[in-house]
Homo-oligomer: A and B are copies of this chain.
Amino acid sequence: MKPDGGSLIGFGSSGLGGALFNAFDPARDAFLEPSFQSGTVEDVERALQLAAAAAPVWAQLPGAQRNKFLSMVADNLEAKAADLVARAMQETALPEARLKGEVARTAGQLRLYGEAAERGDWLDARIETALPGRQPLPKPDHRSMLRPLGPVVVFGSSNFPFAYSVAGGDTASAIAAGCPVIVKAHPAHPGTSELVGRLILHAVRDCGLPEGTFSLLFDAGFKIGQALVKHPLVKAVGFTGSLKGGRTLADLAAARPVPIPVYAEMGSINPLFILPGALAERSAALVDGLHASANVGIGQFCTNPGLIVLQRSAPAEQFIKNLAAKLSATPEGTMLTAGIHKNFVSHTADRAHQPGVKVIVRGKIASACGAAPVWFETDALDFLSNHALSEEIFGPSSLVVWCQDRAEMLAVAHDLAGNLTATLHAGATEAKEQGDLVAILAAKAGRVILNSYPTGLEVSPAIVHGGPYPATSDGGRSTSVGTRALNRWARLVCYQSFSDDLLPPELQNANPLGLLRLVNGQWTDKLVS
């Protein structure tokens, strides 16, 4: 299975001749074959017409059939994992084991969200039965649930070519919710994107679903993405990437004649606070754990711990000295793209010249897109007075912030902008006194972690991958990972005084799907008599 370079517009392809571009192998510092053709505005129009035609079909499609489709996509990915991983290795320089694991996670996500669609409890079905004799006014029958929004546009990320890309979490959750999807492929891994897109379309065919269920468009630049977000038939957008990119799309969507939601997962510095008791208990384990978390995927994780906050003390200085030694010995790795590498070099160079900032580790680099840890330190007062130090540097770079005392540590916590995660390491005896710090961190992040590390994300019903702006564009009201991710692609509809046969099955008296429903104020899976 090899890519051939064309957009996938339903079962058709683009023949209209947008600009050509090639994928790039950052490890070999060379372009890859074949060339990919950017989409055109005509392609956008065709993809949206197909998606709009598919939307009502999907809106009526039972959860069990959504599950069957997503499960088939998962099977297809696993069956072709070797081809997918081989291409992705070239396009991303990520190691084989990581990419194999990512395919497995992506397949697992597809199945989990499919099962959620079939189970249907995410629909929040509610029933209030009529009381015709109520005084002073009769009470009508009301039944309500979530219904799919319609065509969704997904922007694949650069750093997870499977899990946050063409068949990744946004696509899987939108389809599970009953929405057709159009993916704008990330230009860093177009070949991987095309292969995955074809596997999705195989499942569309095999399940007998409308071809507008899925399309994949390429673009070397920004024109197609912007045209998609502005198109009147698009009802919502999912995005994983930079703050600048996400905010641009959110602003475009908010300025439309009919605004639409943009669920953008953007920047995060993922602060990690280390208290004295944690260092006293397990300094060496913290060196190993933090080193591993900060360097997994060459630091190119959205949950990378980018800010380390400590109180100054002899053990803390020794801890950072030991960590710096381990970081200095870290072999260089190849970054995802030449652009990411260039930004990493320039942003770390800028940070080295910020007032009060010292370089504590500067890894040596031999190859074109190589990166090794570059760490900085500063004092809390310098950090608090310089907004530039709160900006994310994507890659293996973190900033150590030294606090004089607990008050300064709390001030740093208070000063944080929104983050995907915030982590606290505390000793056994001091942990229970951290209520104040935990409350601050819970107000700043979508996930607060105790005595562990932010990287590595369990895809489950309880996970939250979101957070206040700028971590996400919706202020952390939703999550892009876990079964709650389906809720982003739906709106509430209430049926008043309906006869049973005109209601969706989820709201019918007999409860044919066996849903847990809120019936007259009580959660129950019983039928309504």
A contact set with B: CB distance below 8 Å: 56, 59-60, 121, 124, 126-128, 137, 139-140, 142-144, 147, 149-150, 235, 250-251, 254-255, 258-261, 417-418, 431-432, 434-435, 438-439, 442-443, 445-452, 456, 458, 460-464, 466, 468-470, 473-479, 484, 490-499, 501-502, 516, 518, 521, 523
Q: Taking each of A476, A477, A521, which has the highest tally of chain B beta carbons within 10 Å of its own beta carbon? A: A477
Question: A516's closest neighbor in chain B, by CB?
Answer: B523
Complex contact A474–B261 (CB within 8 A): yes
Complex contact B492–A448 (CB within 8 A): no
Expressed in whole angstroms, the Cα–Cα distance for A448 and B431 within the complex equals 52
Given the interface contacts A259-B475, A439-B60, does A462 sit within 8 Å of B499 by beta carbon?
no
Question: A139's closest neighbor in chain B, by CB?
Answer: B458
Give A30 Cβ to nearest chain B Cβ, in Å: 34
Give A467 Cβ to nearest chain B Cβ, in Å: 8
Complex contact B140–A458 (CB within 8 A): yes
Question: A484's closest neighbor in chain B, by CB?
Answer: B492
Complex contact B142–A502 (CB within 8 A): no
Question: A487's closest neighbor in chain B, by CB?
Answer: B477
Besides the known contacts A446-B492, A450-B496, A476-B493, 5 further A-B residue pairs in the complex with CB atoms under 8 A apart: A140-B452, A451-B497, A452-B497, A464-B492, A479-B492
Give A526 Cβ to nearest chain B Cβ, in Å: 14
Question: A129's closest neighbor in chain B, by CB?
Answer: B462
Number of identical protomers = 2
Partner of A142, one of B255, B258, B460, B492: B460
Complex contact B460–A128 (CB within 8 A): yes
Expressed in whole angstroms, the Cα–Cα distance for A417 and B258 within the complex equals 10
In the assembled complex, 17 residue pairs joining A and B whose CB atoms fall closer than 8 Å, in A order, are A128-B458, A128-B462, A139-B458, A143-B462, A250-B254, A254-B254, A258-B417, A258-B468, A258-B470, A260-B475, A261-B475, A432-B502, A442-B493, A452-B496, A475-B491, A476-B491, A476-B492
Residues of the B chain whose Cβ atoms lie less than 8 Å from the Cβ of A235? 475
